[in-house]
Amino acid sequence: MSQHGQLEERRLELSRMADGYRQASVLITAQHLGLFDVLSDGARMCDDLANELALDPRNLDLLLRALVGMDLLSVDNEHRFSLHGLAAEFLAPGAEYFMGDIIEHGYSLMKRWVRMEEVVRSGKPIPRETSGGRSPRELRAFIMGMQNISKLSAEEVADALDLRGVKRILDLGGGPGTYLYSILNRLPDASGAVLDLPDVVEIAQEQAEVEGVADRVDLIPGDMHSTHLGGPWDLIFIGNIIHSWGPETNQRLFQRCAEVLSETGRIAIKDFYLDETGTQPRSGALFSLNMMVNNAEGRSFKRVEVESWLRAAGLTPLGLHHVGTHSGVLVAGKG
């Protein structure tokens, strides 16, 4: 490539970073407005869609054409728009690997990310719009969003864990219970529990029924920092939780877990683990900012930090299994 061509490539790379918000806004707005849901019923003309969803026809037309440009919709000679490409594969309700909830979750996240400057200046996260925390729609998008992203990695996690002799499993902050249910589907004689906030265990119950494991799952509505954890458990799974809390809180949580593990029990902590420099993988470093705009103490951590809290709780780290593109499961046991 010529020197000029290389210069242009580098300029484009920087532009792509700066423009990322455009495609993200188009996709998330379309999901939030319900365009993909309606189009999953069949092709529509812009005016019909605008009527159905009470939208402005001129501006909807611009949005639809940008979605065609992004290969998420197609348009035929009669000006009817249809789902296309990744949208047809992942955004039609009922798709096996549906991604609509996690994209909808992006709607509330995006409003926080765009205020990052305030957070960096003040040292405080963006407060919630509603006093009671997330609205029902936001909560469902968050929790089912977790299911959308873990549906594939849950199988990898179950592959990575040594499940011999495991009979009782606690999924702490289990959300939709995706990880627990994929493990239970491999262990017909095992049972488990999801401990999560009261509104969330209702979703875990619904998903246990979908996954056909409801008769082997207890739901524990509560607070992971104060509710009695029951036990003894052969496996305590802590998936995508520790990035929400600071070091002291995590260490206390591990201590509480250590107290309710069976003699041969294991704790498995899935999260993003940063390298020694705290900068890689890039997705982990970026995820720290996702926590920064949302809460006061959370962030991604280095493996050595997490291992030090485990040791302080009397647990021995036994190894890290890489799962998906940027996560790991750190396993620890007693003694």
Ligand X SMILES: C[S@@+](CC[C@H](N)C(=O)[O-])C[C@H]1O[C@@H](n2cnc3c(N)ncnc32)[C@H](O)[C@@H]1O
Write down the least CB distance from residue 143 to ligand X, Å. 6
**Neighbouring residues of 268: CB distance < 8 A, sequence distance ≥ 6:** 157, 161, 235, 236, 237, 238, 329, 330, 331
Tokens of 68: 């065609």
* Nearest-approach distance from CB 209 to ligand X, in angstroms: 17
Closest approach of ligand X to the CB of residue 52, in Å: 33
Is the separation of the CB atoms in 272 and 326 below 8 Å?
yes
Residue from 225, 228, 311, 322 touching ligand X (CB under 6 A): that is: 225
| Minimum CB–partner distance for residue 114 and ligand X (Å) | 21
Cα separation, 98 vs 102, in Å, equals 9
For the chain, the straight-line distance linking the first and the last C-alpha, in angstroms and rounded, comes to: 58
150/251 with CB nearer ligand X: 150
Name the residue nearer to ligand X (CB basis): 61 or 196. Answer: 196
Binding mask 127-156 for ligand X (x = CB under 6 A): ----------------x--x---x------
Q: Which is nearer to ligand X, 178 or 300 (CB)?
A: 178
Shortest approach of ligand X to residue 178 CB, angstroms?
5
Query: Which listed residue (66, 187, 224, 330) binds ligand X by CB under 6 A?
Result: 224
Coil/strand/helix, residue 223: coil
Burial class of residue 233 in the structure, from the number of CB atoms within 10 Å of its CB (0-12 exposed, 13-18 middle, 19+ buried):
buried
Least Å distance between CB 200 and ligand X?
A: 4
Q: How far, in Å, CA of 244 to CA of 71, rounded?
A: 35
Q: Which residues contact 65 (CB under 8 A, 6 or more apart)?
A: 75
DSSP 4-55: HHHHHHHHHHHHHHHHHHHHHHHHHHHHHHTHHHHHTT--EEHHHHHHHHT-
Between 52 and 223, name the residue whose CB sits nearer to ligand X. Answer: 223
Nearer to ligand X, 131 or 226 (CB): 226
Residues 269-308, one symbol each (x = binds ligand X by CB under 6 A, - = not), give ----------------------------------------
Please give the structure tokens belonging to residue 177. Answer: 């219970």
Q: Is the dihedral of CA 125, 201, 283, 254 positive or negative?
A: positive
Q: Which of residues 239-258 bind ligand X (CB under 6 A)?
A: 239-241
Q: Which residue, 196 or 307, is less far from ligand X as judged by CB? A: 196
Q: Looking at beta carbons only, is 239 or 317 nearer to ligand X?
A: 239
Which DSSP string corresponds to 81-142? EEE-HHHHHHSSTT-TT--HHHHHHHHHHHHHHTTHHHHHHHS-PPPPSSTTSS-HHHHHHH
- Shortest gap between Cβ of 175 and ligand X (angstroms)? 3
Minimum distance from residue 13 beta carbon to ligand X (Å): 31
Specify the residue for token string 């029902």: 136
Give residues 13-72 in contact with ligand X (rule: CB under 6 A). Answer: none
The interface with ligand X within residues 159-218 (CB under 6 A) comprises 173-175, 178, 196-197, 200
Q: Which residues bind ligand X (CB under 6 A)?
A: 143, 146, 150, 173-175, 178, 196-197, 200, 223-225, 239-241
